[in-house]
Amino acid sequence: MYPGSPIPEYAKFDDPLWTSRFLDLANAMVLMGGKPKLIARYTGLSQKAIAERYKRLTGQEAPAGRLQQTQPRHYAIPHNRGGLDWNLQAATFSSIYLKIEKALDEPANRGWLLLTAYQAYFRLTDSLQQALPKLSRISLNNAYDLMTHLGYGQGRKSAPLRMKDCDDCGASYLVITELEFDHQSCPMCAIQRRFQMLVDNAEKICSTRQCKPDLIQLAAGS
């Protein structure tokens, strides 16, 4: 289920012109696993009504708990619950979100913007998830948390997170604005360095053991 054309920021749930669009937005956010409090914030539906939609649309109870609220470094710096691949996932969503926002002619309902960006991110990373089943993609609730850290409108100037383009590989990645940018490394480059280290180590081992070239290719993932 796709969110369709933008819902403008001024639209209200109780306006008959927009009620059906907000209901569609709520249904789509339910199917993407949004928490009732998050969906209620942007659609005007009560959390009770959203919980009922969960049962009807998914056959499951609505996810409980508060909205996601973590420190900005959770998305920009590797930690024990998320490594470099997690940082790349967060950067991918953030890049999509900011590009969609910039392309709009007028401010949109932030729930619509959040869902549209998240669905685009989800489709983009779907083949990667199939190839690497253990890869952790960010959830819609993580995406909401990221959206708040990126700021909105004029508030973006003082937001705790921003995107930076890597001078070496050109990839865009998240940085913490209160820290020196030069001390925050690109996760794509870091992954490339680790990969090259594995290949170099495999070559060293094989040079001492007279391994076949096929083993080096295997270490390189080819």
220 has pLDDT over 80: no
Candidates 117, 113, 114, 77; CA nearest to 95 is: 117
Long-range CB pairs of 170-178 (<8 Å, 24+ gap) are: 171/91, 172/91, 172/95, 173/76, 173/87, 173/88, 173/91, 174/75, 174/76, 174/87, 174/90, 174/91, 174/94, 175/76, 176/72, 176/73, 176/76, 176/77
Characterize 118-138 residue by residue with b for buried, 16 or more Cβ atoms within 10 angstroms of its Cβ, and e for exposed: bbbbbeebeeeeeeeeeeebb
The predicted pLDDT at position 217 comes to: 54
The pTM of the full predicted model, rounded to 2 decimals, is 0.84
Residue 161: which H helix or E strand, with range? strand 161-165
The predicted pLDDT at position 109 comes to: 96
Q: What is the dihedral of CA 47, 51, 53, 59, to 10 degrees?
A: 170
Q: What is the largest CA-CA distance in the chain?
A: 75
pLDDT tens track for 122-141: 999 988 888 877 778 899 99
The token pair at 65 is 């708990």
Close Cβ partners of 112 (under 8 Å, ≥ 6 residues apart): 3, 6, 7, 25, 42
* Number of Cβ atoms within 10 Å of the Cβ of 23: 16
pLDDT tens track for 96-116: 999 999 999 999 999 999 999
2 has pLDDT over 70: no
The predicted pLDDT at position 19 comes to: 95
Residue-averaged pLDDT of the chain = 87
The token pair at 25 is 């937005």
Candidates 81, 54, 201, 71; CA nearest to 145 is: 71
Could you give the CA distance from residue 76 to residue 13 in angstroms, rounded to a whole number? 35
* Number of Cβ atoms within 10 Å of the Cβ of 36: 25
Of the pLDDT bands very low, low, confident and very high (cuts 50, 70, 90), residue 209 is low
